[in-house]
Chains A and B, each alone.
Chain A
Amino acid sequence: MANVSVAAEWQLLYNRYYRKPELYPMRWKHVDLARNKIAAAPFGGPLAVIRDDSKIVQLHGESALRKLRLFSSSGHLLADTVWRNPGGRLIGMSWTDDHTLVCVVQDGTVYRYDVHARLIEPNLSLGKECFESNVADCAFWGNGVVCITESNQLFCIADFKNPNAVKLADPGIVEPPRCMAVIEPQYTVSGNVEVLLGVGDGGEEEDAAVIAVEEDGVQRLGGEMLRGPLQKMVVSRDGKWLASFTHDGRLLVTTSDLTGVIIERECESALPPEQLAWCGMDAVLLYWDDMLLMMGPDGEPVTYLYDEPIILIPECDGVRILSNASMEFLQRVPDSTVSIFTIGSTSPAALLYDALDHFDRRSAKADENLRLIRSSLPEAVEACVDAAGHEFDVSRQRTLLRAASYGQAFCSNFHRDRIQEMCKILRVLNAVRSFEIGIPLSIQQYKLLTPSVLIGRLINAHQHLLALRISEYLGMNQEVVIMHWACAKITASLAIPDATLLEILLDKLKVCKGISYAAVAAHADKNGRRKLAALLVEHEPRSSKQVPLLLSIGEEDTALMKATECGDTDLVYLVLFHIWQKRQPLEFFGTIQARQLARDLFITYARCYKHEFLKDFFLSTGQLQDVAFLLWKESWELEKNPMASKGSPLHGPRIKLIEKAQNLFAETKEHTFESKAAEEHAKLLRLQHELEVTTKQAIFVDSSISDTIRTCIVLGNHRAALKVKTEFKVSEKRWYWLKVFALATIKDWAALEKFSKEKKPPIGYRPFVEACIEADEKGEAIKYIPKLADPREKAESYARIGMAKEAADAAAQSKDGELLGRLKLTFAQNAAASSIFDTLRDRLSFQGAS
């Protein structure tokens, strides 16, 4: 069988197979792990290498200055920089989730580097106490770090994105702990990080314990169960289990709260291993000098021998083993792979794989194999697809997928997209696994990491083209990639002139519809390329993004224009306030005067909250009438404000304001009317004031001219009424209405009659009739109705006081059918009256009247 060689490379641990394919021979040269401190990021991330300053090493004709070098997992140098950071020895170094290299030095300073080995400012600090008493050790997780000082105090930065150092509770120990591990915040009850410290010396068993330290409390765990102090601890990926190595050479696996022992195995050595790591969730790796031991829950451990130093890099589904010469991946062999490649396997998947082999060799046995597994063909296909996914070797991936596709041809109910999907995933994986990129992700890691994070990492490493291809291939939004590229391009292209660079950028930006040109422009501005920013922002379709940016790059006038164009008044206000604050009033006035919408909005705002400033504006632009209106308005406010009027009983200030308004109106010919009105208003106020003084009644001020006349008549002060009439040239017509109604109000019917006889009223007798009817004085009304000139009016008036017969007669006189009909309706309830109208209407023979 063709697949014998595959299984031959596996090792059996208890009942599971493990394999350890080589991912890369390392490309680097002259890197000796023994001489260096190494930080490796999980998920196939980059490696940071720096000479270990805690060891005495021989320098081979190299500079005494240390160099921080960053490599990809394949040993490809990404970047390097000289380490000149003060603060003492480098205690710990680790990669965060977003691929920032965090380096903690003795005095508690935290230096951060990006993947291009550029120092990220500002440096963080773990606080004064760390500075004073030196950091002794530290432990990292995802985005955080915990440090222990030489005085055994713990400090923590829970999230480098929001870096605040917090002091944890005092563990209360004198001796430094033997080992330290952290349980990530997401797995603890409190939601804060929990630090485990292994304490106790070899002699006294009772002293041995694990101290769990949190922000607000310390707990002693373990105790007797441990039977002596722990030398080394490591927490499993899901925070549930703790693997530890005891002082007497046992490997302990306990729950992470140390309440129960799950596994306890004797090791041959009591010397603690240099490295202890979980391999997936099923096995623990122990590394001594030249031996790597893999322990499972049961059975003989597997031993690997190394004649060079190695570093264990735990992943979610295994451990990467880095040595000077190669990068290997130790993982449990997936079930599907086992079922196909185990020696002598007769599983359907193995037979299918075998069938393809026969088919390729044109052997009839292919058909025989297929017949054998007909009923379980779908599972067989599925197993081949799955196994292909777990394979690092491209040709084996291909063979497995071909087997799957061969089987699928005979299988009607298989989910056809599966193979296609797997091909897609493998293409992406193979692309990033290539030497040049050097991200050896397993399929499980890839799924856990998610494609979008992978793309994020690629662009972070400036692999824009690959990132773009992948996001395009997976049908994801390319905006992130293009955006990052554009910004990186701007940063890197200081020498390219604006116009050329703009063209280069636009060429790529147009690929992505809806991309934020404003964001790219903002970046250009930040890089000191204001002109480029201005050119870019021109292309931004979203005004809400464009306008604020234009303001920040000082293009106020363009901003105002764009805001006005887009019709969003909120943006216009934004620009308006910005200019208002920045410029001198007169310059500001000039700017907005030229733009109608901005000007009107300014006026609206200022009318509410900046009255005085508005006056200045109108004065500066020569809109005197508007100033006049403002003054006139103020005159009323003066009246309402008791403090202002109290002091001066003559309403002097108020009248003065109105007169000022009058003069301003008079400045322009178009406002003669307003000027006249203001003049009259001032005059009226004076007159009303006199009236209030003479009548000793405060009822005149702020009533209209007509009302003033009425009030005078009601008070019986006819002389005053007449005076108002002549002062303001009130027309006879209005005078008659006013006087008639006023007299009716006080029911002075005699005076009314006298008034009617003064002379023939200029507006006839209708006001008299109406006033009487409204006062419900029929007797008075009858006096005037006959004097009405218009028969229709007469008819209606009679009708209103219920005199049907007279109304009918008058209506007949008017020969108005519509009127008759209406009157009839009015009298609808009254049968007798109604019939009068009917007869009359018939006589007039009007038709169609409703």
Chain B
Amino acid sequence: MAQIPNLDNAPVNLTSIREQSQKELINILKNVRGKKCLVIDPKLGDSLSLTIQTSILKEQGVELRHLSAEPIQSDCNKVIFLVRSQLNLMRFICSNVHDDISKGLQREYHVYFVPRRTVACEKVLEDEKLHHMITIGEYPLYMVAMDEDVLSFELDLSYKECQVDGDASSLWHIAKAIHKLEFSFGVIPHVRAKGKASVRIADILNRMEAEEPINSSDMAVPEINTVILLDREVDMVTPLCSQLTYEGLIDEFLHINNGSVEIDASVLGLQQEGKKTKVPLNSSDKLFKEIRDLNFEVVVQILRQKATSMKQDYTDMTTTTQSVSELKDFVKKLNSLPEMTRHINLAQHLSTFTSKPSFLGQLDMEHTIIESQSYDICFEYIEELIHKQEPLTTVLRLLVLFSITNAGLPKKHFDYFRRELLHSYGFEHIATLNNLEKAGLFKKQESKSNWLTIKRTLQLVVEDTDTANPNDIAYVFSGYAPLSIRLIQHAIRSGWRPVEEVLKLLPGPHLETRRGGFSNSPSFDTFYGVSNSIDKVPDGRRSLVLVVFVGGVTFAEISALRFLSAQENMAYDLIIATTKIVNGQTLVETFMEKLG
């Protein structure tokens, strides 16, 4: 089972981008001759696992280690640290080198920063007086292809850094990544952005284009027609709701990490007791590709049907005489048996979670909060969760959802919840609360909430959702249409103008511009739709829209976008880029900070 997703069916040539990254890494390793120890920061290691096989690294004479505070054990006298340019990681590098010095070990050190070296990180090395001992380089990995239509910038802390720390480094990174894409696929002529960070990225992107122009005359028609940038801040409601698509649910309960999920082998009916096994989840798995985006209820039905039909085929096979071609068909079907078994086992495992009263209760509560009708019921429910000392993330998830839909809580309640939380979970969580407040996720009510207006205008709650034959994106949450995707739906169809009134109710500015060679000709400058002449890619493929989520996207939202893309009247293929794939839990976790 290949961990690295197959990208052959990607709407743009992502394979070449990945190959480029592979080549660059191999060159780095080649430049350090002989045996060497490659020390990777663990999170980066996860992203790299989607880029290059470990076996290829081993071929370069590499001993692989993870970077931590513990000194690395290796006989190699050449050490390459491959780290994201994050301040806190410098401490580990320093302690490693100091440890060697104290032991009298003489080694050759290389530090490769991903995606680029930064003054701040080097300053730390300088202050520790190690700078002169270290050769510094860069590994410009700005994004990783998670699947044939999903790119990740692997900036898991982006949202928190921007909102809480005011550290906008990730925005430059995102702009750079998009600019890199433009070098491969041409200047993207249309830009639509909503949210402070997104508008800033569009601005940085324009600066980059001015500073380092892409020679657009080389490319006749840009492959990507539009980029839509959306801040997570604009819609924090969606990621906090429990996802109900197959892939989304797997992520909620089992946590998908970089395109694969780790579960007990026993879940898959394997004999090894207590052992963990990794299941890759991407489009290379045909069955998964078919069912990943469907509502879990439907998935169960489909799997059941498939199993039944196979059983039927099998009985036919044993009882009646078959022609050779029929036998062939049957054998072909048998080939998909391992995939079937795997997903049936997975689905079975998931349903043990979905049938729990606590989960059903939570779903109920999410819908109640979104409907925004029974304040007291919600209040009491959350209060009880705290009193029962349910996991803090679970509590915060609902609490944040509650706070956002109400534009904050009345001061009395705000203080009450904070006090109860500190009493129940410990005073060290004051930092978490402080972070959430800074980010505006859990705060004192200062103005009236306009959630109801937004919900109504954008038709976010859809009655009578047929999850089996959906006609609206609301199927992914069994009745709630994700706000983020609703906005994108409008942005693709007709631009921002028709929804301008609602956009004003949502946080952050919005922007709609044209760039590149087209910006000078006013005749092209129409807000509505997209004129046909320039949008057609010659070979008959649909042209592309790049949707960028600044601050993370959930699997359910990706599913909803795929649903949109599959609609008949849709003129575009969609490709999704995100700072990181998130869910309510991981998103809340980024804000958690214990003082202790």
Contacts and interface: CB of A to CB of B under 8 A. Distances in A.
Interface of A: 513-514, 541-544, 566-570, 573-574, 577, 596-597, 599-601, 603-605, 608-609, 629, 632-633, 635-636, 639-640, 673-674, 677-678, 680-681, 684, 702-707, 728, 730, 733-734, 737-738, 741, 763, 767, 796, 800, 822, 825-826, 850
Contacts of B428: 636, 702
B427 A681 contact: yes
Given A608-B87, A673-B415, A702-B596, 17 more contacts: A542-B211, A542-B212, A543-B207, A567-B168, A569-B118, A574-B119, A604-B165, A609-B87, A636-B596, A673-B418, A674-B430, A677-B419, A704-B425, A733-B383, A737-B384, A741-B388, A741-B389
Contacts of A730: 423
Lowest 3 CB-CB distances: which A-B pairs, in order? A600-B166, A636-B596, A704-B426
B355 A597 contact: no
Contacts of B430: 629, 632, 674, 677
Interface residues of B, number: 53
A633 B432 CA distance: 12
Contact of B211 (A541, A609, A684, A707): A541
Interface stretch (B120-128, B231-239, B269-277, B571-579): B120-128
Nearest to B434: A629
A822 B360 contact: yes
Contact of B355 (A513, A567, A706, A826): A826
B423 A738 contact: no
| Chain A binding surface, main DSSP class | helix
Contacts of B212: 542
A567 B204 contact: yes
A679 to B, nearest CB: 11
A629 B431 contact: yes
Interface in B153-179: 161, 165-169, 171-172, 175
Contacts of A706: 389, 423-425
Nearest to B175: A567
B120 A639 contact: no
Nearest to B596: A636
Nearest to B426: A704
B431 A633 contact: yes
B165 A600 contact: yes
Nearest to A709: B423
B396 to A, nearest CB: 15
A707 B139 CA distance: 47
B166 A596 contact: yes
A825 B427 CA distance: 42
B204 A566 contact: yes
B596 A603 contact: no
B204 A609 contact: no
B213 interface: yes
Contact of A608 (B88, B161, B596): B88
Nearest to B594: A636
B279 to A, nearest CB: 27
Contacts of A632: 430, 595
Contacts of B486: none
B87 A569 contact: no
Interface of B: 87-88, 91, 116, 118-120, 123-124, 127, 161, 165-169, 171-172, 175, 200, 203-204, 207, 210-213, 297, 355, 357, 360, 383-384, 386-389, 415, 418-420, 422-428, 430-431, 434, 595-596
B357 A734 contact: no
A850 B424 CA distance: 38
Contacts of B384: 737, 763
A635 B388 CA distance: 28
B172 A543 contact: no
B423 A704 contact: yes
A601 B167 contact: yes
Contacts of B168: 567, 569, 597
Contact of A567 (B88, B116, B200, B357): B200
A541 B383 CA distance: 56
Most chain A Cβ neighbours within 10 Å, of B207, B425, B431:
B207
Contacts of B383: 733
A800 B425 CA distance: 29
A568 B171 CA distance: 9
A541 B210 CA distance: 7
A627 to B, nearest CB: 14
B426 A703 contact: yes
A568 to B, nearest CB: 5
B420 A734 contact: yes
B426 A609 contact: no
A480 to B, nearest CB: 19
Contacts of B175: 567
A639 B428 CA distance: 13
Most chain A Cβ neighbours within 10 Å, of B88, B207, B427, B430:
B427
Most chain B Cβ neighbours within 10 Å, of A570, A601, A684:
A570
A825 B300 CA distance: 14
Contacts of A544: 211
B124 A609 contact: yes
Contacts of B595: 629, 632-633, 635-636
B424 A734 contact: yes
9 contacts: A604-B161, A609-B127, A636-B595, A703-B426, A704-B425, A704-B427, A706-B425, A730-B423, A825-B355
A825 B166 CA distance: 49
A744 B30 CA distance: 62
A541 B388 CA distance: 59
A601 B87 CA distance: 11
A673 B297 CA distance: 46
A640 B596 CA distance: 9
B275 to A, nearest CB: 28
Nearest to A635: B595
A716 to B, nearest CB: 21
Most chain B Cβ neighbours within 10 Å, of A541, A566, A673:
A673
Given A542-B211, A633-B595, A677-B430, A569 B169 contact: yes
A826 B127 CA distance: 63
Contact of B166 (A574, A597, A707): A597
Nearest to A737: B387
Nearest to A676: B419
B249 to A, nearest CB: 17
Nearest to B162: A600
Contacts of B172: 567-570
A66 to B, nearest CB: 48
B237 to A, nearest CB: 24
A702 B428 CA distance: 9
Contacts of A763: 384
B127 to A, nearest CB: 7
B569 to A, nearest CB: 30
Nearest to A565: B207
Contacts of B88: 608
A677 B425 CA distance: 13
B427 A684 contact: yes
Contacts of A609: 87, 124, 127
A38 to B, nearest CB: 48
B543 to A, nearest CB: 28
B119 A577 contact: yes
A600 B167 contact: yes
A17 B426 CA distance: 101
Contacts of B124: 608-609
Contacts of A825: 355
Nearest to A740: B388
Contacts of B166: 596-597, 599-601, 603-604
B422 A677 contact: yes
A573 B423 contact: no
A657 B360 CA distance: 45
Nearest to A568: B172
Given A597-B166, A677-B422, A741-B388, A573 B596 contact: no
A566 B165 contact: no
A728 B423 contact: yes
A767 B213 CA distance: 66
Contacts of B418: 673, 677
